[in-house]
Structure 1
């Protein structure tokens, strides 16, 4: 598991159980994340990784799974993150 995936999973675990959550599971469809929590997630990502989430980044596909969040983070900091 990449470092980004571990960090995101640890953040999620502060709010809900992640032991049954696979890196490819859709956190919105699974009921783990709602729109309010998504705002909190974006704010945390910006602070934790010293990045700016641009309007173009605000696509559900960038935040729907741990894999997609890690990949988006990799793009923002210029690191290739395997799926």
Structure 2
């Protein structure tokens, strides 16, 4: 499981964007209709700036961004490789 701070940061960003109190960690934001391609790019930009990582072309898979948990897992993988 990803770091709780990463989960909270990503979850808070999504909740603000969707004007919700919270976004459940495993809620599929694409299936729920809360996101579109513009938000997906904003999410990538947020993740890169917030966590100081670069999301490479091979990381740009919808499955890496479907849920708070999956985004947090991507961040964890990328930061672990950089360390």
TM-score under structure 2 length normalisation:
0.86
Which residue in 2 is equivalent to 1:70?
72
Unaligned runs of 5+ in 1: none
Post-superposition, which runs of at least 4 consecutive aligned residues in structure 1 deviate over 4 A?
Answer: none
Give the match for residue 7 of structure 2. 5
Structural RMSD (CA): 1.6
- Give yes or no for contact 1:9–1:18 (8 Å, CA) kept in 2: no
Which runs of 5 or more structure 2 residues have no equivalent in the other structure? none
Which residue of the partner structure matches residue 28 of structure 2?
26
**Matches of 1:38 and 1:32, distance apart in 2:** 10
Number of residues of Structure 1 aligned to a counterpart in Structure 2: 78
